[in-house]
Amino acid sequence: MPQRATKRLVVFGDGRIPVSRMLVLAACDAARVVPGVEVVAVCEVATASAPAPSLERRLAIGARRRLARWPSQPAPRGTPPPVPPMQRIAEVQDVPLLVPPRLQVNHPAFREELRALGVDLGLSLYCGQVFRPPLLALFEGGVANFHNGLLPEYRGLGATAWSIYNGEERTGFTFHWMSPGIDEGAVLLRDSVAVTPERSAPSLEVAKTRAAIPHLREVLRCMVAGEPGVPQGDGGRYFSAQDHAVMREVDDPAARTSDELLRRLRAFGSLTITLDRPYSVTELARVAPGGRRPRLAFIAADGVLLAPTRIDGLLAPAFRAYRAAADLYRRARPR
């Protein structure tokens, strides 16, 4: 079959994730100025739309949001800018928005839809799904992936969080060809950003996304040219969802040092710490010697007194007020 002069590209993204939508929008814009490629569809592998919550759920969400704004806080550094939904991105690009059955990219019906489009190339941007060999085989030019970590050092999930936890000075991203092995394909391009003390994992994700956007033209050029990339070779580690879950569960906080707990919290965003019961702790602080001991304070393995100051995103007093109100509501609700 003769090669087409212009490669037909499908861009995959996750509609729930702002940085994914940022990259999808930027990739579509980049494709307009890269010779030999055109975007023929945008594919949404997870959607931000959901059924309307119940009245009870809406009241609970409203109460939590009000409590979360007390006292008022500025937007965290690195908050993603407003990004249009995937449907709007597709409309602006004048291409169809594809949504696979049950949001599964490997669904046979979706493969047939892609086959009918005559696709040549795919670009996955925070897709979060494994492309199985039958799907990869549809793209004669191959499928490239944006991975939010340096490869091969940080394969798998949560690369940014693991970079912080491991004390790396920089955390990176990699554009690579997809292969049957997860995050094992040849590398097209890598870059990194500095890990500084004030940067959280979410802010670093935004920083990496912004750093990746100027590279999209070069990535597309490599894809169109069919450049093989650089094999990863040996080394590195794969981080699984189970690895991530283990780090966030702290059944016995007294067995961990304060530095370890604070490092985990900074890296992974929240820890489920069991005190009188499990709490989803999103902020911990050292308690000054001689000061008033908060109710949920505990002594870490190095003798430092720690206390949750935010639980599930709420200041500890606000969390207690919210939980008391929720318990009262549940008891008063007609059965």
Domain limits of the chain?
Answer: 7-239, 241-332
Is the pLDDT score of 109 beyond 80?
yes
Rounded to a whole number, what is the distance in angstroms from the first to the last CA of the chain? 68
pLDDT in tens, 256-301: 999 999 999 999 999 999 999 999 999 999 998 887 899 899 999 9
Could you tell me which residue, 295 or 227, shows the higher pLDDT?
Answer: 227
Name the residue among 18, 11, 10, 9 with its Cα closest to residue 85.
Answer: 18
pLDDT in tens, 124-152: 999 989 999 999 999 999 999 999 999 99
As a whole number, the mean pLDDT across the chain is 88
Name the residue among 200, 192, 206 with its Cα closest to residue 153.
Answer: 192
Domain 7-239, CATH class in plain words: alpha beta
Distance of alpha carbon 57 from alpha carbon 50, whole angstroms: 13
- Three-class SS of 26-90: HHHHHHCCCCCEEEEEEEEEECCCCCCCCHHHHHHHHHHHHHHCCCCCCCCCCCCCCCCCHHHHH
Residue 294: which residues within 8 A CB-CB, separation 6 or more? 287, 307, 308, 316
Could you tell me which residue, 335 or 295, shows the higher pLDDT?
Answer: 295
pTM confidence score: 0.85
